[in-house]
Structure 1
């Protein structure tokens, strides 16, 4: 069973993502802010990470940067979530190594297909 971390500070969004992805058969770990997410990333291994860009304490870009600069964790696919779609933010995310960028609000079924694709690509 693939393990996914969801880092999202909006409670309703976090619950919706958790419900959908558990229903899809994934093992889910959640973080309600960036500090929790960073602690979980440092002490666990995930098959994919979904992270909001703007969260309290530590932002999604900082989490992404940490993951992609770690020699072991850098293979973990990261999908950035954001209500802000400014070109410079999107480009920064891709430059740091994000696999995808999804704008809020989004379709949960579409996100589920993207997740499945990235996890499938990452299986060796």
Structure 2
């Protein structure tokens, strides 16, 4: 059963944000949700899984979270082609666009629950 579940990765150093996103997603059902608090935690998870959706915070304790998006885009054969949601409470969408990061959507913090539900509702599966 779990093999058929869509996979979502949440990368944020704020455990409250990870917990809230995870709860919203799990409430919808049909998703295997993994969480990472740092680049060091996220990188091996990406190497071991092909995610359908990745929520990436901008500023993490050990670097810029959007580096995960770069890593994924360099080798889609290895990492798949997930929908990537860039999140930040500290930078604007214009800054995110100018960063050259390949993401599907920018989501400022604090986020709106209905926006999260809309995003996960569009993930095929």
The separation in 2 between residues aligned to 1:3 and 1:32, in whole angstroms, is 17
The separation in 2 between residues aligned to 1:38 and 1:60, in whole angstroms, is 10
Query: 1:9 matched to which residue of 2?
Result: 13
Aligned length: 119
TM-score scaled by structure 2? 0.85
The separation in 2 between residues aligned to 1:87 and 1:22, in whole angstroms, is 27
- Cα RMSD (Å): 1.7
Q: Which residues of structure 2 form unaligned runs of 5+?
A: none
The separation in 2 between residues aligned to 1:71 and 1:58, in whole angstroms, is 22
TM-score scaled by structure 1? 0.85
The separation in 2 between residues aligned to 1:87 and 1:30, in whole angstroms, is 24
C-alpha distance after superposition, 1:40-99 (max 9, x if no partner): 111211111111111122322211100111131352111011002335522135x32100
**Paired residue for 2:89, among 66, 83, 104?**
83
Query: 2:34 matched to which residue of 1?
Result: 29
Q: Which residues of structure 1 form unaligned runs of 5+?
A: none
- Residue 59 of structure 2: SS of its match in structure 1? coil
Query: If each structure's helix is expressed as a fraction of its own residues, which one has the higher value?
Result: 1
The separation in 2 between residues aligned to 1:16 and 1:87, in whole angstroms, is 22
Q: Is this contact kept in 1: 2:11–2:37, CA < 8 A?
A: yes
